[in-house]
Every structure is written in structure tokens, then in C-alpha cells.
Amino acid sequence: MSIKIENFGKLPDGRVVHLYTLTNKNNLEIKISSYGVNITCISMPDRHGNFENIVCGFDNLEDYLSENYLAGYPYFGCILGRYANRIANGHLEIEGKTYELVVNNGPNHLHGGSVGFDRQLWDAKHSCRDGYSQIEFSYLSPHLEENYPGNLRVKCICTVTDDNELRIEYLAETDQTTVINLSNHTYFNLTGGKRNILNHELKLAAKQITESVDLIPTGKLIPVKGTVYGFSRFKKLAGGLSQLPTGYDTNFVLDNPEGKLIYAGTLREKISGRMVVVHTTQPAIQLYTGYYIPELTIQGEKKFGSYSGVALETQHYPDSVHHPDFPSTLLKPGETFQETTTYKFSLDL
């Protein structure tokens, strides 16, 4: 195992962003920046031994800060918080107090607001042991940052193992009752970006989705069997486009009331042979097939665009703050928020 640390660039205020490259004995290489805990690269081989980056990301900080990227901001590879996904109308009530959050996605609050955890500089410390290497990122979100109550101390621990597994563990504590829903927004493209993701095949361990209107849950859970949302067996992502013209942006419910580390799903691509298996303690996984990813010109070359990546965002349900029957996203003083997701990379030979 090895860890390499290098400068990734500087923020407008002069603070230095570092890039951490974690490499295991099989030459699986994962790069993570201290800005937004962005996973910028996951390099793995295909069935012929050719290594390629299988996630959407950039080679330098400047592209993450560029106006073109932020104008159609797809949240490549970053941590989402304080609250991943949507809160209806940005309206939040906690213990009788009302907090109006920024509305940054139509009429709703999305992914923590205008400057969420995805656009913060995180502290980091690293360690390397036999069989794994690890970066512990930490951030103190002050009381009323983006108008969320409470000083929230957050850790995001990223571990790469010799078993070709990336483990992401989230920990948080607060001094006032608040809400929290943390996730990672990596987009996978197992072709190494040579083709879009519509021929990727997906299997999910979900029998229900949250019924939604304009991406806000109604409170009802509906079965997926026999519908375009059924992924009990491997199915191409393109299969649903006749009924879903902009693809999937759907919260799939995992049967995980005790918060154990359970199987959530598998993504594979047959030409490359690459496969990603997801386990999580979280109660749901949001499937987003990236219809609104913008096409960008990077160093004179056009890249990305619709369906250039697929996000598998393990998290709590969207808008849980308005649905008492959903798994709670409240965090109180003295409690610890703790969730874990693992991604295992292998070849389907």
C-alpha cells in the first residue's frame, strides 16, 4: 500500500488543496482531494489489463472551480452535506424552530445549499498499514452555516484495501439538534469514458422506491416489481428510457431497518468486464443516470454530457424531514451519526 500527497491547486483565498493518491498491491489507484473530499480518479484494469479512470472528474482544481462547470454543476465525486438530496421548499422545522434554507434547485433545497460540504476545504490526516491505506478528512460546520442549526463536527474516512475495496465511513456529532444526510456523488463510467453508460447493467437489492412528484417524495412507498424501476436482475440502464425520457433520478429503498452493512447493488459493463459491488448501512440508494451532466470543453477537448456517468448515492430518503414515517435524519447532542458504504472493484470474466 502507498499514499502520495501533492498540491492540487489553490482556492481563491490562497488556501492550498491537496490531492491524495492511494494505491494498493494490485495497482488499483484512487485519488481524493481535500476540496469537497472529491474522488477525482479511480483507475482500474479492464479484462485485458488496461488501466483507465472509471469516474467522472478532473486532473486539476481549476476545472472544479470553473464557471462553466459550476453553471451546470453535476457534483462530480464529492461529499454531499449537510443534507444530501432535496428538502422541499427549503423549509425545515426542528424542535419548534423554523429554519429557511437556501432554495437552489427549482423551489427546493439541494445537497446542503449554495456552499455545501462539496465546496469546503477539509482537514486531512493519513495512515498506511499492511493491507490498507486511509485518509481521515474532517470539517467543522459552524452553527447556522447554510442556516442549519448546531456546530457539526464531521469526519469522512476513506480507506482503500488490498481487496480492491473503497470504504467510506461518515461520522458526525452536534451541539444542537440538527438534521444530517451524508452521501458521496461519484459518477461511474466503466468504459473509462469512451462510451456513455446506457449499456451498463445494474442490479439493485430494492423492492420499493419512494413515490415522488417533481423529485419530492409523497410519503408513499411503491413496489418496483414489473415496472421500469425493477432491477432485481441485471438490466441495461437504457431499458427505461422509453418511459423515462430523462433517465433515472430515483430513490430506491433498501430493506435495512437495523442499519447493518448490507448488499445494495452491482454495476457492470460487459465490454470492459469491469464491475462495482456496493454495500451500505444506509436505508436507500439514489440512482441518477446523469441526463443533466453538462458537456464541457477541457483543455480543448469536449468531454462528458448526458449519460456520461451514473451515480449510486447511498443515503437517507429525500425530504425525510417532512415525513415522520421515513428513517429519521435528526441528530441530537450526545448522539453520533455513523454510516458506511463500500465499493468493491473487480472483473466479471
Q: Where are the domains of the chain?
A: 2-347
Q: Say what the pLDDT of residue 297 is.
A: 86
Instruction: Give yes or no for a contact between 36 and 69, defined as CB atoms under 8 angstroms apart.
Output: no
Q: Say what the pLDDT of residue 165 is.
A: 98
CATH topology for 2-347?
A: Beta-galactosidase; Chain A, domain 5 (2.70.98)
How does strand 86-87 pair with strand 109-110? antiparallel
pLDDT below 50 — which residues of the chain? none
Concatenating the DSSP letter of every residue in 123-186 gives: EEEEEEETTEEEEEEEEEE-TTGGG--S-EEEEEEEEEETTSEEEEEEEEEESS-EE-B-EE-P
Q: Catalytic residue positions?
A: 185, 313
Q: Say what the pLDDT of residue 220 is.
A: 98
Q: Say what the pLDDT of residue 129 is.
A: 86
Query: Which residues partner with 339 through β-bridges?
Result: 170
Burial class of residue 265 in the structure, from the number of CB atoms within 10 Å of its CB (0-12 exposed, 13-18 middle, 19+ buried): buried
161: amino acid identity, one letter: T
- Grid coordinates standing for 65? 472551480
Instruction: Give yes or no for a contact between 253 and 283, defined as CB atoms under 8 angstroms apart.
Output: yes
- Grid coordinates standing for 99? 429554519
* Report field, pTM of the whole predicted structure over 0.85: yes
